[in-house]
Chains A and B, each alone.
Chain A
């Protein structure tokens, strides 16, 4: 039996303390990822620390610098439908609403979303080798059925992708993750939060054991005038992305003064290429210019037996979504193509 002890924490420091009394403990928030994986017998926590009642982490508040702070225990649904998110960070709202289902978004928390595990079939199959699940056991995906796998930033040890939609928007918005742990508090820039697999694919991100995400900060810039989230998948809804793109633009007339482009479903982390964003600065927002940016972003892309189609798909999605960002009001439910 995969059994565990259970403890309900009331404060962040109590939660961190409780977790650090054990070598194999985990926080539990919405449970939508942890319980799934636990039921597949892929994780064996000896203790679960319930963090749902941490009063300090359950609100969205305006910061003195003009940005917003999302408490780690706010649900994905409450975030996406929050009036300040809808009006100032609609890109984040659309990305969240393109993920999972209404029920799951009512349960899933903003902190938990950052820490969801990959959906690689072999990670989920306890009988298959998987370096992410059992370090050193090998990677069944590289020569296996790798249709959903990475085309950017993969290693010979792991080609899994990070599946979150919300995090693609957070990468484009350059959010900051606030954490507290046994060694105190720290802030992690979103680009440095998740990591590439390298030779340690068992580590999805740079959080240390026992660290708790308390909140996520959104900088002032929300790209609320020109934004779009496009999610391409095998069915129209309730499926993970094969490729997704978050685009935010600032325009002076039709000339781009600032661009943000992040991709989901293509790598071990949300993929943002600053060179491509720089290239777009000062140029008109045209399909030709987005194509140039797409070529830069996909420069080092490498396909495997079943997923090479993603390279062309990603390029086209970047171009399409760039144009969609010029008409954000045409966004369709489920982040489908709208133009």
Chain B
């Protein structure tokens, strides 16, 4: 963030971004205060109720690591962790997540150290264009937390919500299996 979120300029900037001057003035009445803790940092946003969590992250907090693929729940590119659980940020409204803790790909590094999954993705050539990668990694972190995947077949099934148009799937599953079997996560 280049401006502290409680800064008045930030609010004006958000308003300018949010409100289309061509629209009815009554939209001002619909503005909602939304408090989100994103990657450990507390934010208070003023948003119209139909702003998706994905747009709040990308357009209002400038966290563009989370990607918009389909915007309809069909690709997984927008996967983030919400209170530790993997969800699709395109299919939820920011207002519905009032008070929640969100982790995006920008928040998974540990100090100067890549997250073990980030390193494993590099080691296993688990991407080409990289567009699906932030979603894949957040999803895999959620997968580990759930603790339900035992076999490679389980991992494939439980990662099926993240599509990769480049076809890096074998590398992706290899990378996840390596970190899973190495126990290199929480």
Contacts and interface: CB of A to CB of B under 8 A. Distances in A.
Nearest 4 interchain pairs by C-beta: A101-B161, A6-B49, A237-B160, A333-B157
The main secondary structure of chain B at its interface with chain A is mixed
B12 interface: no
Contact of A237 (B50, B52, B157): B157
A119 B106 CA distance: 35
Contact residue range for chain B?
35 or more
Given A102-B146, A103-B142, A28 B91 contact: no
Interface of A: 1-6, 8, 28, 30-32, 35-36, 38-40, 48, 50, 52, 77, 81, 100-104, 106-107, 236-238, 332-334
Given A238-B160, A332-B153, A103 B30 contact: no
A89 B100 CA distance: 31
Contacts of A38: 50
B52 A35 contact: yes
A52 B98 CA distance: 11
B69 interface: no
Contact of B86 (A81, A106, A236): A106
Interface stretch (B1-9, B58-66, B72-80, B173-181): B72-80
Residue picked from A36, A52, A100, most chain B C-beta under 10 Å: A36
Contacts of A106: 85-87, 142
Contacts of A35: 52, 91-93
Contacts of A6: 30, 32, 49, 93, 95
B88 to A, nearest CB: 5
Contacts of A31: 91-93, 96
B91 A36 contact: yes
B125 interface: no
Contacts of B160: 101-102, 236-238, 334
A68 to B, nearest CB: 21
A92 to B, nearest CB: 16
Contacts of B52: 35
B92 A107 contact: yes
B139 A103 contact: yes
Nearest to B85: A106
A35 B94 CA distance: 12
B148 A81 contact: yes
B71 interface: yes
Given A6-B32, A81-B148, A333-B157, A102 B142 contact: yes
B96 A103 contact: no
A40 B76 CA distance: 18
